[in-house]
Structure 1
Amino acid sequence: MIDAFIKTPLGIVKLTGDEKGIREIIILDDNLESDTIPKELKVAVEQIHEYFEGKRTAFTFKINPLGTEFQQKVWKVLLTIPYGKTISYLALSKKIGDVKAIRAVASANGKNPLWIVVPCHRVIGSDGSLTGYAGGLWRKKWLLEHENPVKQESLF
């Protein structure tokens, strides 16, 4: 696994991956930044920069996250939430096929290792409130406003 650190409007982002795909993208509060970007991470870095510049609404690079079977299932559904839209934890649980699994779904959402790419920031409370975000609620708010500066529309 190789790493790269890039500066974004929300802080330093650490990318970890190899030729099989990106394993992890996390936000840091550190000031690290890579001088050179390894070739295996170059496309991902370019696409993340394009996202923050408002030029990209979806990512096309290979991903390879580690997680349980249930977490992988939740992350796969998260990938279907369109740019500029939101979904509630309850609606996400329904899409998974188990409305009673709302806490497990929220936990899997919180363990998402691919910040921004697997858009866990698009999941909100049933009442429309911004709840639970590993990167901090201020970052979640920023991302949602970045994706839809006029008004957030609920997917469900």
Structure 2
Amino acid sequence: MLNRSRLSTPIGQMVLVHDEEEVLWAAEFHDDPSAIEASLARFGTGVRVEADVPVPLLLQEAFAGYFLGQFDSFDDIMMGRFGSPFERAVWAALRAIPPGETRSCAAISVMLGDIGKARAVSAAIGRNPLAIIVPCHRVITSDGSLAGDGGGSDRKEWLLRHEGWTLVRGQRT
């Protein structure tokens, strides 16, 4: 059984889906239970979000830490095991991007050993159910623009700036 908790953040309300052991299965910026369940169903989890509960202390502290500038605050969060081996490799590569830095899908595909998989990398990023924890906001287009974030470029830019990223004349400094 999975539970749903609502968390207020400086950039909007998040919904966290977790089990009773505080394993996190989804962290998204919308509150449509059917959309969250559909997101999880893509991974064949076959579970339903059953109850609304307060945010568990461990998760509350991790998100509070992140928004206070402690960018390693998610290191101890247990995440549900879902996604294909390739998706998990892409998500691990995202987590390896240092806070405040960015990479393109092409650069991530090179990190994974195959420049030809940039589109597959992009698709895997689009299926990421763990906003901020698996930092898809650190992925930019090859020309350096912030496009490509399902949450909108304003939120993406806010997160990057929060992490120390700056943009001057189209280039990160």
Q: Which residue of 2 aligns with 1:27?
A: 29
Q: Which residue of 1 aligns with 2:142?
A: 126
8 Å Cα contact 2:105/2:142 also seen in 1: yes
Structure 1: 4+ residue segments shifted above 3 A: 149-154
CA 10–85 in structure 1, closer or farther in 2 if over 3 Å, else same: same
CA 35–113 in structure 1, closer or farther in 2 if over 3 Å, else same: closer
C-alpha distance in structure 1 between counterparts of 2:112 and 2:7, whole Å: 33
Q: Which residue of 1 aligns with 2:60?
A: 45
1:105 and 2:121 matched: yes
Q: How far off is 1:116 after superposition?
A: 0.2
C-alpha distance in structure 2 between counterparts of 1:112 and 1:46, whole Å: 22
Gaps of 5+ in 1: none
TM-score by length of 1: 0.84
Residue pairs, 1:84-103, within 5 angstroms: 84-103=100-119
1:5 and 2:20 matched: no
8 Å Cα contact 2:7/2:15 also seen in 1: yes
> Of 112, 117, 126, which residue of structure 1 is paired with 2:133?
117
Q: Which residue of 2 aligns with 1:136?
A: 152
8 Å Cα contact 1:65/1:114 also seen in 2: no
TM-score by length of 2: 0.77
CA 131–150 in structure 1, closer or farther in 2 if over 3 Å, else same: closer
What is the alpha-carbon root mean square deviation over aligned residues?
2.1
Q: Which residue of 1 aligns with 2:71?
A: 57
8 Å Cα contact 1:24/1:65 also seen in 2: no
3-state DSSP of counterpart to 1:36: coil
8 Å Cα contact 2:101/2:165 also seen in 1: no
Q: How far off is 1:69 after superposition?
A: 2.0
3-state DSSP of counterpart to 1:15: strand
C-alpha distance in structure 2 between counterparts of 1:23 and 1:132, whole Å: 22
Partner deviation per Cα, 1:62-90 (whole Å, 9 max, x = no partner):
11152122111111111111111111111
Q: Letter of the aligned partner of 2:106 in structure 1?
A: L
